[in-house]
Amino acid sequence: MDEKKIFQEQEFQELYRKRRLVSFVLTFLTMGIYIFFILLDAFDREIMAYKVFGGVTLGISMGIGVIIFSWILTGIYVVWANQKYDRQIESFRRKVGNIQ
């Protein structure tokens, strides 16, 4: 099967849409949390300077939270890709054969 036929396959189109949707949603969430953090820092420094405990401020805590949130989203993508997407891709490859 040539590449044009593969790209026109309904199953290929569905796989492409799923990957694009998951990537877009996770990217949107990541960018949203980063932008929220930056805007909060830019426009409300007093709240970011609030001491949570000891010398640790809310800004530092939120910054760490942003990083951890990004790791979690990356983990979600990896689990999704390994458990669903890669299996579907492999099934599709078997269906259409090996293309060199």
**What digits encode the pLDDT tens for the residues 20-37?**
999 999 999 999 999 999
Which pairs count as long-range contacts for 2-11, CB under 8 Å and 24+ apart, including other chains?
Answer: 2/99, 3/99, 6/96, 6/99, 9/92, 9/96, 11/92, 11/95
pTM: 0.79
Evaluate whether 96 touches 3 at the Cβ level (below 8 Å): no
Report pLDDT for 8.
82
The Cα 4–Cα 55 span in angstroms is: 60
C-alpha distances in Å from residue 5, one per residue of 1, 23, 35: 6, 25, 41
- For the chain, the domains span 8-96
